[in-house]
């Protein structure tokens, strides 16, 4: 049996160049990547929502009992801290 003849016969029904097949492969790869990323995003979002739902009662209680009465003072403290940190950035440098 002549091997080139075997190869020719076995491969005869597949074109040597087939851009449609190449496109189909790349499209399938892209579809799969998109689905994987979508599933990851949905999974992470669901996890975040679940964690938030679990943590919310504790956070709400802590806020109400510990920080809420001091909200005004905390806000002034935050503004003062921000100003203290940011103002030096706008002052000219000294030699």
Partner 1 sequence: MSDEEDEQARVRDARAGSAAAFGRLVQMHQQALRAFLRRLCGNAADADDLAQESFVFAWEHIGRFDPARSFRPWLFGIAWRKYRERKRSWLRRLLRESAVADSETSFESDPGLKLDLVKATESLPAEQRAAVLLCLGAEFTHVEAATALALPLGTVKSHVARGREKLAAMLGGSNG
9 binds partner 1 (CB under 8 A): yes
Min CB(23)–partner 1 separation in Å = 8
From 15, 50, 80, 83, residue interacting with partner 1 (rule: CB under 8 A)? 15
Residue 16 near partner 1 by CB under 8 A: yes
Contact 37, 30 (CB under 8 A): no
SS (H, E, C) 53-95: HHHHHHHHHHHHHHHHHHHHHHHHHHHHHHHHHHHHHHCCCCC
Q: Which stretch binds partner 1 (CB under 8 A): 14-22, 37-45, 50-58, 62-70?
A: 14-22
CB of 34 to partner 1, least distance (A): 13
Q: Does 40 bind partner 1 (CB under 8 A)?
A: no
The encoded tokens of residue 1 equal 């049996």
- Asked if 6 touches partner 1 (CB under 8 A), the answer is yes
């Amino acid at each position: 049996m002549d091997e080139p003849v075997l190869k020719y016969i076995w491969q005869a029904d597949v074109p040597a160049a087939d851009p449609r097949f190449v496109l189909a492969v790349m499209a399938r790869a892209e579809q799969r990547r998109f689905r994987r990323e979508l599933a990851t995003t949905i999974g992470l979002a669901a996890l975040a929502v679940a964690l938030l739902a679990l943590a919310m009662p504790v956070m709400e209680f802590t806020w109400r009992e510990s920080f809420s009465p001091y909200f005004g003072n905390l806000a002034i403290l935050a503004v003062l801290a921000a100003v203290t940190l940011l103002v030096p950035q706008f002052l000219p440098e000294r030699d």
